[in-house]
Chain A
């Protein structure tokens, strides 16, 4: 109560900013700058986890197909930015794109002339596609509750995975390599190039901080409280005037957009994308991260997600990578359904004296 409300509202993001800077300085001081690569990737994956946190943690719905949306964003960026339109150069659409500056001629790695679309179209197409798919999937399936919604989203995830693996145009099992950089400004591009390692680290975390801020804003608003009400009791929420279907759809689409943006940025950062991103085990992983972070605690989800994803990307879990995340999910469900932080009794903001009594169903 000593912290003024305006300050308290921005506290999580301020703490995040301080940590991000401290970690970068520490990593440099320790002489292990290569860690920044995994920390940057962990940031993008955590953005996807935050999106699921909104849908699962706040709105209380289950999605087992979140990786599908990340793959849609990633593959859209990959396909758009690597497509060679030279054979189609005569078509009026391509000509118009070129005149608008959205397509340009260049030379590929092997010296052949190519006509490429602006990489900026990639994330835009990815976000639009993810939103459209989320609406199409959400309209019928968000009427379902519990297991049924889980089944529907699981099936969606499997479909994306199989489509990606089965499509020669998307590189089938090999995925899409040689994805160009996404130029943001002079001296800043989303790319794996060593020289841009530090700016990329900060860019990724800036976007994550923004994503966190938006979710925390929502949590303290009319629409966010409606989501939490739906989580608690759909019928009671509807009786208060909440259009339950619409609110769920908004959360679902927003979560999908978070994942698609993450996928798109990862594709440019890694320079390639493969069907593994769309696998069901990846979806299970996001669920595990959200559950371990404490479902409705965006800050907790971000912390857990960053740590575990970083360890996973460093190869700490070895061949047992997927098994570790699945085991974490099982362990959380059995022993700490409110997440690690609640289980360890770490102080959480707004924790009242009567807090301990309420474990939400």
Chain B
């Protein structure tokens, strides 16, 4: 793990997220084969590639879902390789999931309030005894969650059962839940999956809005129209390796990328 080369030339400003020499196997499948890239603060960066390219695996390695077989992940200058998901989250990395993973039996408001967990401090006993710290956390969570719902024009749905909403709405609630903890980096796992064209367009605006709040966005996506429209930088994966990294225009013009996608079709 230690013999992995660091990014050769350190840029003037250290990147927010740095992935170096990452490897992962699923049984005999080399799902991630030596991937290195960096993501600078304030950018929207996309990871694209055909099915089975290893996009989601790479994403899960960053989010701590499972530790990498080799390589390192650094966030805000700090080594976070192999950290469990809850520690990754507490450092300021929020994520969404491919399928809707809203909490069933909880309202939209409660779901978003759950996202404020990372910003609270009160524990189990404080909650049971309703100590001032617990009440303070609760007030803060409610206020921030309501603000977030208002921001996404969903305040009128605060009391609704989250899982009863239409799919596109659920996706936005998930993003609100991830954002309400004020992360530095937001990981979006195929956010356009299952959305129609108009919803995807709106999602693009929404993601740009998130960036303008100062949140860096790393997005794994299938939908090319979304990615090319909003990303500052794109990483193309194929069969576990990084093929090209560059601006959307550079990537689109690259013959290797064209070959991968046309070959795939």
Contact = CB atoms under 8 A, between A and B. Distances in A.
Given A228-B106, A357-B161, A217 B128 contact: yes
A221 B126 contact: yes
Interface in B78-136: 84-86, 89-90, 94-95, 97, 101-107, 110, 113-118, 120, 122-124, 126-130, 134
Contact of A360 (B104, B120, B177): B104
Interface of B: 63, 65, 84-86, 89-90, 94-95, 97, 101-107, 110, 113-118, 120, 122-124, 126-130, 134, 137-138, 141, 159-161, 163-164, 177-178, 181
Interface stretch (A72-80, A117-125, A127-135, A230-238): A230-238
A232 B117 contact: no
Given A229-B103, A354-B160, A241 B118 contact: yes
Contact of A358 (B84, B105, B129, B134): B105
A138 B128 CA distance: 20
B63 A239 contact: yes
A214 B128 contact: yes
Contacts of B114: 225-226, 228-229, 237, 240
Contacts of B103: 228-229, 231-233, 236-237
Interface stretch (A158-166, A176-184, A242-250): A242-250
| B86, B101, B126, B141, most chain A CB atoms within 10 A | B86
Given A223-B126, A358-B164, 16 more contacts: A217-B127, A218-B127, A222-B138, A224-B127, A226-B114, A229-B103, A229-B106, A229-B114, A233-B104, A236-B101, A239-B94, A240-B86, A241-B181, A250-B124, A251-B124, A358-B104
A214 B86 contact: no
A119 B106 CA distance: 44
B107 to A, nearest CB: 6
A361 interface: yes
A46 interface: no
A296 interface: yes
A238 B106 contact: no
A222 B138 CA distance: 6
A225 B124 contact: no
A228 B106 CA distance: 8
Interface of A: 214-215, 217-218, 220-226, 228-229, 231-233, 235-244, 247, 250-251, 254, 296, 350, 352-355, 357-358, 360-361
A231 B102 CA distance: 11
Contacts of A250: 124
Nearest to B177: A240
Contacts of B110: 225, 228
Given A222-B138, A229-B114, A241-B181, A355 B89 contact: no
Given A217-B127, A225-B110, A233-B101, A243 B164 contact: no
A352 B86 CA distance: 31
The 8 tightest CB contacts between A and B, nearest first, are: A221-B127, A232-B103, A241-B118, A241-B89, A357-B164, A223-B127, A238-B85, A354-B164
B101 A221 contact: no
A220 B127 CA distance: 8
A238 B86 contact: yes
A143 to B, nearest CB: 12
Given A217-B127, A235-B85, A240 B115 contact: yes
Nearest to B165: A354
B105 A228 contact: yes
Nearest to B101: A236
A244 B90 CA distance: 13
A250 B122 CA distance: 14
A247 B114 CA distance: 14
Q: Tell which of B122, B128, B130, B141 has the most Cβ of chain A within 10 Å.
A: B128
B117 A240 contact: yes
Given A217-B128, A238-B84, A354-B161, A222 B105 contact: no
Contacts of A217: 127-130, 134
A222 B122 contact: yes
Given A222-B138, A352-B161, A241 B86 contact: yes
A352 B97 contact: no
Contacts of A354: 160-161, 164
A308 to B, nearest CB: 24
A222 B85 contact: no
Nearest to A353: B160
17 contacts: A215-B128, A217-B129, A220-B138, A221-B130, A222-B127, A228-B103, A231-B105, A232-B103, A235-B85, A237-B103, A239-B63, A240-B89, A240-B94, A296-B105, A354-B160, A358-B161, A358-B164
A229 B89 CA distance: 15
Contacts of A235: 65, 85, 97, 101
A361 B85 CA distance: 23
A23 to B, nearest CB: 27
A133 to B, nearest CB: 19
A239 B122 contact: no
Nearest to B89: A241
Contacts of A239: 63, 85-86, 89, 94-95, 97
A301 to B, nearest CB: 16
Contacts of B141: 222, 225
A287 B258 CA distance: 59
Nearest to B127: A221
Nearest to B107: A352
